Amino acid sequence: MIRNYIKTAFRNLLKNKGFTAINILGLALGLATCLLIVFYVFDELSYDRYNTKADRIYRLNNNIKFGGNEGSYSESPAPTAVALKSDFPEIEDVTRFRQRGGNQVKKGNQNIQEDNMVYADPAIFNVFTLPMSDGNPSTALKETHSVVITEKMALKYFNSTKAVGKVLTFNDTALYKVTGVIKDIPKQSHFTFDFFISMPSLTESKDDSWFSNNFDTYILFRPGVDYKKFEAKFPEFIRKHAEAQLQGILRMTFAKLEQTGNYFRFSLIPLLKIHLESKTKYDMGSKGDIKIVYIFSAIAIFILLIACVNFMNLSTARSANRAKEVGVRKVLGSPRKYLIAQFLTESVMVTLAGAIIAVFVAWAFLPLFNQVSAKELTVTPQIIGWLVPVMITFIIVVGCIAGSYPALFLSGFQPIEVLKGKLASGFKGGMFRNSLVVFQFSISIFLIIGTVVIYNQLKYIQSKDLGYDRDHVLIVNQVWTLGNKAKTFKQEIKQLAGVKSVTLTGYLPTSGYNNNSSLFKDPVLDAKRAIQSAIWNVDEDYIPTLGIKMKSGRNFSIDMKTDTSAIIINEAAAQLLGFSNPLNQILYLPMDSKASIMRPFHIVGVIKDFNFKSLKENVTPLVLFDSEDTGSLSIRINSTDIPSLLAQVKSKWKSMSPNLQFNYSFMDEDFDNNYRTEQRIGQIAISFTSLAIVIACLGLFGLAAFAAEQRTKEIGIRKVLGASMSTIVGMLSKDFLLLVLIAICIASPFAWWAMHKWLEDFAYHQNFQWWIVIVAGLGAVLIAFVTISFQSIKAALTNPVKSLRSE
């Protein structure tokens, strides 16, 4: 019996090749797209899950409001870790990370720049799951000048994973002994360091200041601890350990500090939420965004729904043509249950074919998807483990739902009525089908509007006046490795033809360098008369090289010896300070973490605000100091022959340090890299929206063909009576276009709300423009009309003799 069902179903599907192909293609495209997005979402949600104790690991966040600035930071004070473990028996262990940038590592006669370095406490191997293939994790990072490296680095520098006892040379001077080799850290980790340097090697790790925040602190709780309840203990903990220092600096308690509107608080974030949900500043590694996961998940569901709606729509549309078949079968004695089984078999077979094709399509396009999304997704046994049951469930559920209408509705007809032709047919009677068309085009229009808004915002970011000129600026990185030759290198580059100006500093709007401190209006510290500001060390060439505009006052000058105690502030700092005229006013900077020494600085200039952070943040106070920093060299180019100039710069570098790597970038490219995630989202959104439209049009094409087929005789009569082709095309198109217009009215408010929420993440963004809805609506109408017109014109051109000859 089952074999007979399958054979009959196969014949029926072959008999209607066009509708079968549309059904299978729509399902395959929708399901393949859904699978790719599911792989992406699965990867994002799997971050840090390789840690066997992941459910008990939390990072300490530092929430500070002081001097007009408010923010949450991933870094906390150095003594916090020891104090936490000492005070709370609920804590099993605590470990810290401290990022200090990369180092040049010697390999043969070459020095290779390695940036994936971090200082780490010995407890790291008890908190995180970092399997050690060589060495002893309990002692690996206890000694000074020791380092643990990944297997990838061991192979790179020693051609073997057995590297314990060997020595690495950093920056041509410092020797570090390899005391452990760990397995490469999975890509799905919020930190992916290759070098873990022992924390005892860092003098700063022993600092007892509670108001200098530089360490990422991770807590491993004992089983059963409720971290939310534990957070309630932090205020007393902070008062116990830090209040004496606060009174020494500001001469007030934490209670008094909060009365001034300021605060200093700790909070916790679970390890498994860091990658997607952390909103703190200075997070390690690249962060994901839970909103993007939600958006992509919604897109996957929408596209799959569109594909399923197509299948259901075409199945119900074609069912009317099979009414006589049902009538004949029932007259010949076929029970209703056999008819139901026959229709469901056909539906499940189509779904099975679409699912099989979808798996191969997803697998074929996975490399391209990886390239666009910057992922390294692979089909692992773990994925196959949940994919197979999900696909089987999908095939059964979708097949049964799509086949339920013809199976249950048609099989219930009385054969005498069916054979007399009393069964209503035609497009106009299909209210259910019309609702499904509106539903799928509402989704398509929603995606079109969302894609246009995202694309528009990305264009806005690329074209916005940032307050500095990022074009034609070459950046030579790690200039600090030249040591005392850095200034000489700057002067030699300055002499090259095609170089307009040069500045020596690592503090650039695109570099990610950060250094915050509090400045006070009085030498006697008062929280009410302070500002929290970014502190950048620059030289006299910084402002002209970056094209930053002065609002008042002057730039630093090499001829002004007093400029060593001069500062330049931005408009945001000037506004927060409240001076009617900031020029020549005095600000005091604490010269140590306990503010025991206060140094006065006088304001010589005010620069116009420029975006030195992400456009997702407002411009905050910035203070420039005329002080040395050799992080990088920025060169403003005034030459069309960039390759030649680049070769000259490289030659100068090699002449000063032949064994050091020459690393460079361009500021406009660095800026674009900061928004690479948004650009990828835009590309993926455009691709998926296009697929959604294609799938929706496939269904519309099938319904238009069905409508034309149902009205063949009507069209023939109208043509005989003199109807023009345009009249017939309009008659067949207007019902569908009305449904698209209804979809526009439904989708637009939802799209406006969703995109308004997305734009809120950007401090600088374009408002939702009314023309976007019009463009999306006209686009949807045009696409629908073109799709329908193909079948309408074909029907209008048909010879009426052929359609009426049976009459």
Provide DSSP, 487-532. HHHHHHHHTSTTEEEEEE-S--TTT----EEEEESSSS--GGGEEE
Give the position of tokens 């069964």. 423
Task: Tell me the C-alpha distance between 430 and 411, whole Å.
Answer: 18
Phi, then psi, of 334 in degrees rounded to 5: -70, 125
Q: Is the dihedral of CA 76, 178, 137, 151 positive or negative?
A: positive
pLDDT score of 148 more than 90: yes
Work out the average pLDDT over 34-41.
Answer: 90
Task: Tell me the C-alpha distance between 323 and 419, whole Å.
Answer: 8
Work out the average pLDDT over 164-175.
Answer: 90
pLDDT score of 118 more than 60: yes
Work out the average pLDDT over 519-535.
Answer: 74
328 vs 1, 318, 417, 419, 693, CA distance in Å? 19, 17, 11, 8, 39
Lowest-pLDDT range, 132-141, 372-381, 482-491? 372-381
Q: What is the pLDDT of residue 412?
A: 65
Tokens of 352: 């099975």
Task: Tell me the C-alpha distance between 517 and 533, whole Å.
Answer: 6
Confidence of residue 633 (pLDDT cuts 50, 70, 90): very high
Q: Do the Cβ atoms of 584 and 601 come closer than 8 Å?
A: no
- Contact residues for 322 (Cβ-Cβ < 8 A; gap 6+): 406, 410
Amino acid in the structure at residue 630: T
- Contact residues for 34 (Cβ-Cβ < 8 A; gap 6+): 300, 301, 303, 304
Beta-bridge mates of residue 97: 120, 216
Work out the average pLDDT over 733-753.
Answer: 87
Q: Render pLDDT for 449-502 as a digit per residue (tens, 0 to 9).
A: 888 888 888 888 778 888 999 999 999 998 988 888 999 999 999 999 999 999
Confidence of residue 550 (pLDDT cuts 50, 70, 90): very high
Lowest-pLDDT range, 223-237, 386-400, 684-698, 717-731? 717-731
Task: Tell me the C-alpha distance between 41 and 758, whole Å.
Answer: 18
Among residues 304, 277, 305, the alpha carbon closest in space to that of 291 is found at: 277
Work out the average pLDDT over 530-537.
Answer: 86
Task: Tell me the C-alpha distance between 510 and 667, whole Å.
Answer: 7
Give the position of tokens 């643990």. 148
First-residue to last-residue Cα distance in the chain: 40
pLDDT score of 410 more than 70: no
Work out the average pLDDT over 432-436.
Answer: 75
Task: Tell me the C-alpha distance between 202 and 99, whole Å.
Answer: 11
Q: What is the pLDDT of residue 429?
A: 46
3-state secondary structure string, 340-386?
HHHHHHHHHHHHHHHHHHHHHHHHHHHHHHHHHHCCCCCCCHHHHHH
Percent of the chain with pLDDT over 90: 34
Which stretch, 19-28, 266-275, 341-350, has highest mean pLDDT?
266-275
Work out the average pLDDT over 403-407.
Answer: 71
pLDDT score of 333 more than 80: no
Q: Render pLDDT for 556-590 as a digit per residue (tens, 0 to 9).
A: 998 888 888 999 999 999 988 888 888 988 888 87
Work out the average pLDDT over 347-359.
Answer: 88
pLDDT score of 763 more than 90: no
Q: What is the pLDDT of residue 422?
A: 56
Lowest-pLDDT range, 70-79, 238-247, 248-257, 640-649? 248-257
Confidence of residue 238 (pLDDT cuts 50, 70, 90): very high
Task: Tell me the C-alpha distance between 205 and 217, whole Å.
Answer: 12
Give the position of tokens 């897109």. 299
Q: What is the pLDDT of residue 428?
A: 43
27 vs 4, 328, 363, 379, 765, CA distance in Å? 25, 31, 16, 21, 37
pLDDT score of 219 more than 90: yes
Q: What is the pTM of this model?
A: 0.84
Q: Do the Cβ atoms of 53 and 260 come closer than 8 Å?
A: no
Task: Tell me the C-alpha distance between 469 and 339, whole Å.
Answer: 73
Task: Tell me the C-alpha distance between 14 and 30, whole Å.
Answer: 22
> How confident is the prediction for the chain on average, in pLDDT?
85
Amino acid in the structure at residue 509: P
Q: Render pLDDT for 619-632 as a digit per residue (tens, 0 to 9).
A: 888 999 999 888 89
Q: Do the Cβ atoms of 533 and 69 come closer than 8 Å?
A: yes
Work out the average pLDDT over 410-433.
Answer: 58
Lowest-pLDDT range, 144-158, 344-358, 536-550? 344-358
Confidence of residue 805 (pLDDT cuts 50, 70, 90): low
Phi, then psi, of 804 in degrees rounded to 5: -110, 0
Work out the average pLDDT over 500-521.
Answer: 82
Half-sphere CA count of 760, side-chain side, radius 13 A: 7
Q: Do the Cβ atoms of 629 and 537 come closer than 8 Å?
A: yes
Among residues 311, 342, 404, the alpha carbon closest in space to that of 9 is found at: 342
DSSP state of 405: I
pLDDT score of 426 more than 50: no
Confidence of residue 427 (pLDDT cuts 50, 70, 90): very low
Percent of the chain with pLDDT over 70: 89
Task: Tell me the C-alpha distance between 464 and 470, whole Å.
Answer: 11
pLDDT score of 58 more than 90: yes
Coil vs helix vs strand at 199: helix
Q: Render pLDDT for 696-742 as a digit per residue (tens, 0 to 9).
A: 887 777 777 766 666 777 777 777 777 777 777 777 778 788 888 89
Q: Is the dihedral of CA 75, 79, 85, 88 positive or negative?
A: negative
Q: Do the Cβ atoms of 392 and 58 come closer than 8 Å?
A: no
Work out the average pLDDT over 138-152.
Answer: 94
Confidence of residue 660 (pLDDT cuts 50, 70, 90): confident
